[in-house]
Structure 1
């Protein structure tokens, strides 16, 4: 298509670009150019080490693509923070303050501390602003028609470079935004120390009980685990077989499970002994190390126990063979007697 004077005139008529508009644009461009030249000149006139003077206080507009703040007016003067937050959350996630961790909104008050009926809310995403303008503008709230619009700001006082956001704060704000947008639920920190998940039981046994039969240790461990599983998930059972107080420990998955087991088992009788149950203090070590002599004696007794078991098994085998031989002999004699009777 050929661009002629008639085409340009038709284009300007349709899109409102007339001579006045062109003149305005030319004046604006000229003003901008002059401003840039003045800034360059002022920069050249600065002496070494001299800083540029601060700008005067003025109104300014945040970039529309980055402004996530909305200004709300027409609110009831008795509105609460919770009610305002609940209403604004319908349009998106509200930004959190990096210092306090609280939602970033403000209900404006007068000098006497009374609510004025307007507020500001900062969203996490720009899309929430557009949604708030569509949904909440002219919204009826308890008989009040509220109005929502993009928030505007004014620079208060003189410009202070020291108040400029530092990289650390910006990084902290970025991490907060990522956490708010994360789909995974927040992990609750344990309110109680881990040692309170472990229950300590005293007077369950006497160390001499295992000298007579070492397998008793496994029986006690199995019985204790079976009983404690009634109160929750048991992760570990330890029997301190050398402790003179007959100590055992049970580790649960949660501290509340240990509380329930403690309430049920404390002062209860087990094998003729009254149990003393408490939560572990996280410090006391109930493991008692044995000396070399004690270890030799324990191994010697264990060998005697195994030999005794082998002798018993051997004796049972001999008795079985003898019984089978006797049975076979009796059967043979009975057969001969029966044949004699038949021949007779």
Structure 2
């Protein structure tokens, strides 16, 4: 029954459409008498659809709101039109130039950076006595602040007037675009030290004429990627050494004389071991070097931290070692205490080393002969005592 009623209503609607076509002569449009909506006939789909007019769009937006995609398309279309107009104006300006005439620089004006790439926010309404640390802590609530690849410092700025006084506004550059959206939601109209601050995406202004010399060089993408990975790393950040590395090295003078090693080359290892064991009382020792050819008797000790070297210098400077008073200080990072030997000195050193080895071999041979003689003597004494015992035993038997 219901299906029959629907078919009947559809038949009436089709008759009304046919009558309208006969009266107005347009077979592809139809106006609904109830609400005045104009329909168009789609030949491909064989169906009636509302005709898109300005009145229809206005009514749709009033009832359902504007879709986000429509806003984006409208903004994109407007931006493309503005870009095309600027390009046409530039081409026209180039054509109007006379031969040899230079194009005038454009007046400074505000320009927008691509929203996807713009990670800068502009903050106003700040107290005029705010410090850099306070501003940094405030902006870090919404994300990680970008670091300058040259200085390593966070990229934010508090603006000042001509007299150097703070103006109450500043700019902050985040590492990620998501931090900008978060700052707009959290920090805009935020109460900070009895001041209501305002946050908005930063805009930039061209200043003066274009100067190629002032243009920043492009940074290497690999360096920028490593910086971003370090900032996003979950591991705790390692503190960078504030003092130069050469201040971890301690230099000791007047510790020996080079001729001391000519008599006994093994003394070099003994001094190195003694020095390491003594210096380990002040911290972790990474390396010990003995410059055996230096006339001042120089040795160096490298610590893990500069503060360890400071403690060792304070304790060892002026102390006595092997009858010599030590002169201890931190390395200046420049002086090279290594002295290269000549070919003649090298031959003499090798000759003395061979003599030392031969002397050691002779000593070992002499010790071996002494051991053999001692063993022979002990065997002779044992044999004599054994013979004497047998004689005494025989004499006792005879008397019995």
Give the TM-score normalised by the residue count of structure 1. Answer: 0.71
Q: Answer whether contact 1:228 1:234 (CA < 8 A) is retained.
A: no
Structure 1 position 79, deviation (Å): 1.7
Is 1:5 aligned with 2:71? no
Is 1:161 aligned with 2:213? no
Structure 1 position 130, deviation (Å): 0.9
Is 1:303 aligned with 2:355? no
Instruction: Name the residue aligned to 1:238.
Output: 290
Alignment of 1:1-344 (within 5 A): 2=45, 4-6=48-50, 8=52, 12=57, 13-15=59-61, 40-46=91-97, 51-96=102-147, 102-109=153-160, 114-155=165-206, 160-162=209-211, 166=215, 169-171=217-219, 175=223, 178-179=226-227, 181-182=229-230, 183=233, 185=237, 188=240, 191-192=243-244, 194=246, 197-202=249-254, 204=256, 207=259, 211=263, 214-232=265-283, 233-238=285-290, 240=292, 247-254=297-304, 255-271=306-322, 273-279=323-329, 282-285=335-338, 290=345, 292=347, 296=351, 299-300=354-355, 302-324=357-379, 326-327=381-382, 330-331=385-386, 334=389
Q: State how far apart, in whole Å, the 2-side matches of 1:63 and 1:332 are.
A: 116
The change in CA–CA distance for 1:145 and 1:179 in structure 2 (over 3 A counts) is: same
Q: State how far apart, in whole Å, the 2-side matches of 1:47 and 1:300 are.
A: 94
The change in CA–CA distance for 1:148 and 1:164 in structure 2 (over 3 A counts) is: farther
Structure 1 position 67, deviation (Å): 2.1
Q: State how far apart, in whole Å, the 2-side matches of 1:217 and 1:36 are.
A: 80
Q: Answer whether contact 1:93 1:125 (CA < 8 A) is retained.
A: yes
Structure 1 position 338, deviation (Å): 6.1
The change in CA–CA distance for 1:190 and 1:340 in structure 2 (over 3 A counts) is: farther
Q: Answer whether contact 1:68 1:122 (CA < 8 A) is retained.
A: yes
SS of the residue 2:327 aligns to: strand
**Structure 1, gaps ≥5 residues long:** none
Greater RCO (CA < 8 Å, at least 6 residues apart): 1
**Structure 2, gaps ≥5 residues long:** 1-43
Structure 1 position 111, deviation (Å): 6.1
> RMSD of aligned C-alpha atoms?
4.6
Q: Answer whether contact 2:111 2:205 (CA < 8 A) is retained.
A: yes
Structure 1 residues 215-250: Cα deviation after superposition (integer angstroms, max 9, x where no partner): 44443343333223323315124262x7676x2513
The change in CA–CA distance for 1:101 and 1:234 in structure 2 (over 3 A counts) is: closer
Q: Answer whether contact 1:265 1:275 (CA < 8 A) is retained.
A: no
Indicate the larger mover: 129-138 or 228-237.
Answer: 228-237
Structure 1 residues 199-219: Cα deviation after superposition (integer angstroms, max 9, x where no partner): 2342546836853x5544443
Structure 1 position 95, deviation (Å): 3.6
The change in CA–CA distance for 1:4 and 1:34 in structure 2 (over 3 A counts) is: farther
Total equivalences in the alignment: 332
Structure 1 position 291, deviation (Å): 7.2
Indicate the larger mover: 334-343 or 194-203.
Answer: 334-343
Q: State how far apart, in whole Å, the 2-side matches of 1:243 and 1:52 are.
A: 70
SS of the residue 2:243 aligns to: coil
Structure 1 residues 161-190: Cα deviation after superposition (integer angstroms, max 9, x where no partner): 326974x52327984574254248567467
